[in-house]
Amino acid sequence: MLNNSLYRYLLLLGDNSLILGHRLSELCGHGPNLETDIALTNHSLDLFGQVRSYFQYAAKIAGEGTEDSVAFLRYEKDYLNVHLVEQPNTDFAHVICRQFLWDAYHLPLMKALMKSKDETLAAIGAKGEKEAAYHLRFSSEWMKRLGDGTEESHKRLQSALDHLYRYSYELFKESEVEKEMKEKGIGADLGKILEEWKKTTEDIFRSSNVSPSDDPPAIAKGKQGFHTEHMGFILAQIQYMQRAYPDMQW
Amino acid sequence: MTQKEINLEEQFQARIDRDESIEAKDWMPEKYRKTHIRQISQHAHSEIVGMLPEGNWITRAPSLRRKVALLAKVQDEAGHGLYLYSAAETLGITRDELTEQLHSGKAKYSSIFNYPALTWADMGAIGWLVDGAAIMNQVMLTRTSYGPYARAMVRICKEESFHQRQGYEIMLTLCKGTALQKELAQDALNRFWWPSLMMFGPKDDESPNTEQSVKWKIKRKTNDELRQQFVDQTVPQAEFLGLTVPDPALKWNEERGHYDFGDIDWDEFWQVVKGHGPCNKERIDARVKAWEEGEWVRDAAVTHAEKKDSRTEQKVA
């Protein structure tokens, strides 16, 4: 099925939400206070909601399987998410910074999908746009709080940005399937998303008093199925039940 | 006690007897206030610590549907904790003080959460049995005399009964599934049955607070009454699942119109209450860790808000 462009595109979209949703779900019950715990769990819930829509559609296109077989029963090289979303919850600054870099990409992505010629993707975009707008507002506010808070929070945020910024380039590195979907009017134009992403991030970096490092982009080929060393552990958890108790209903 | 205080106490009791709701700004005996702080915060802490055993299975949930439902459930518990802490705050204590009491071990939380969640079936058993037992208490509390607590409980009860149904549905799915799945369900029932009965607290004759709590209508039924009600309700549900309740003494008593059941291991009960259960230390350590690692975040939020305010003031000036 990976040769089917639309199917592959759905995996590209869905896997990012799946892995980021997973990272956020690890935090549930361990947040710095109840309010942020609840908010980040909301983000995770929204992302998993999107995953279900993408993968139900993918299973339909494949003509076999379910949202769960798509989510849980692939080998690592068949997951197509970017490296940014695999980055661990090192501290709250990393969580917020990872989220912000993602949200600033995700909102224009959803807006673009709303205009997709594919009706299902357009519907997913319409629902996701509202969620992504809220996520971006939340992470932007926290970027400012941490950047403008104490000396320690500022230092931690800058250090998180130093680590994570290198991974943001991969979001915009167009893969073959993204190019094809863009040309068919189904997928988003990453060039346009990048323009909006730059505007949003520059604005928030300024008000958070942090600056992106000029380190070169991390070599990251998640869209081709090559992942970081974190990915195996993530999948070990996500897939545990389906692998240990195969072919059962839950 | 002065004559004036005696009169106030009598008037207060008369209000309770008339089923009037006591509100935050009303006069209340100091002991009533303290009892409520203790009970409401204990309840809030139980919600927060209760997030941990179930949280342990979020990343390993067997399907996307189950994952989303579990995440939402654990999130609901955080929400319950939040309104219960707020209800406790109406009695003149801060959330930070309450948190400190939890971390230092001064405040208790429901002992059930000191048992580990070992398999996916435990997500079913916890919802079915633990939420089921909690609801017995909580439904009663929707009519408790202290208004803010009673109102918080109305909302909590609605969500809890949804959680219980969700838990039972997980059990039902397992019991209709393969032999291996049914084995998981039976094993979870075996491990959670007795701790669930312990959730109602010590026997009435060993429960020092019961009499006063009944008088103040904090409690409307005793521990033993609620425990019996739980057994009577739950045994037929276990039978419907085709599972065996792990109590050889369990038997329907025609004369009483109730199930008779075996003795609870009270040594184990007190051991867990005193902090020596399977996970007491891990649970508190996890809470303390989250709190300590979050300190710089909370500080940053406060500092940013202060800076923002002072910038606004400067502009206005």
Average pLDDT over residues B223-243: 97
Contact B60 A149 (CB under 8 A): no
Q: Which of A41, A228, A165 is nearest to B70 (CA)?
A: A41
Give the percent of chain B with pLDDT over 90. Answer: 88
A214: closest CA of chain B, how far (Å): 27
Confidence of residue B219 (pLDDT cuts 50, 70, 90): confident
Residues A121-158 pLDDT 10s = 999 999 999 999 999 999 999 999 999 999 999 999 99
Domain of residue A114: give its range. Answer: 2-244
Best mutation target among B51, B67, B288, B293 (most A Cβ atoms within 10 Å) is B67
Contact A241 B178 (CB under 8 A): no
Contact A28 B298 (CB under 8 A): no
CA distance B296 to B299: 5
Contact B59 A152 (CB under 8 A): no
pTM value is 0.95
Q: Which of B64, B71, B293 sits opposite A41 (nearest CB)?
A: B71
Average pLDDT over residues B262-272: 97
* Whole-number pLDDT of residue B269: 97
Cβ contacts (< 8 Å) between B304 and chain A: which residues?
Answer: 144-146, 148-149
Contact B63 A68 (CB under 8 A): yes
Give the percent of chain A with pLDDT over 90. Answer: 97
Asked if residue A62 is part of any domain, the answer here is yes
> What average pLDDT does chain B have?
95
Taken in order A199, A201, A207, A210, the sign of the CA dihedral is: negative
Query: Does residue A236 sit at the B interface (CB-CB below 8 Å)?
Result: no
Contact B68 A52 (CB under 8 A): yes
Cβ contacts (< 8 Å) between B61 and chain A: which residues?
Answer: 241
Taken in order A23, A26, A31, A34, the sign of the CA dihedral is: positive
Asked if residue A56 is part of any domain, the answer here is yes
Contact A42 B75 (CB under 8 A): yes
Confidence of residue B314 (pLDDT cuts 50, 70, 90): confident
Asked if residue A237 is part of any domain, the answer here is yes
* Whole-number pLDDT of residue B311: 87
Contact B298 A55 (CB under 8 A): no
Query: Does residue A166 sit at the B interface (CB-CB below 8 Å)?
Result: no
* Whole-number pLDDT of residue B213: 84
Residues B68-125 pLDDT 10s = 999 999 999 999 999 999 999 999 999 999 999 999 999 999 999 999 999 999 999 9
Asked if residue A249 is part of any domain, the answer here is no
Cβ contacts (< 8 Å) between A242 and chain B: which residues?
Answer: 62
DSSP 3-state percent helix, strand, coil across chain B (nearest 5) = 75, 5, 25
Contact A29 B78 (CB under 8 A): yes
* Whole-number pLDDT of residue A62: 95
Cβ contacts (< 8 Å) between B179 and chain A: which residues?
Answer: none
Contact B81 A91 (CB under 8 A): no
Q: Which helix (H) or strand (E) is B40 found in, with range? A: helix B30-55
* Whole-number pLDDT of residue A204: 98
Asked if residue A166 is part of any domain, the answer here is yes
Contact B64 A48 (CB under 8 A): yes
Query: Does residue A3 sit at the B interface (CB-CB below 8 Å)?
Result: no
Find the closest chain B residue to A142 by CA distance.
B301
Asked if residue A250 is part of any domain, the answer here is no
pLDDT at B168 over 90: yes
Average pLDDT over residues A69-98: 98
Q: Which of A23, A55, A47, A15 is nearest to A171 (CA)?
A: A15
* Whole-number pLDDT of residue B4: 77
Average pLDDT over residues A161-165: 97
A76: closest CA of chain B, how far (Å): 17
CATH number at residue A73: 1.20.1260.10
* Whole-number pLDDT of residue A79: 98
* Whole-number pLDDT of residue B317: 72
Number of domains present in the structure of chain A: 1
Asked if residue A8 is part of any domain, the answer here is yes
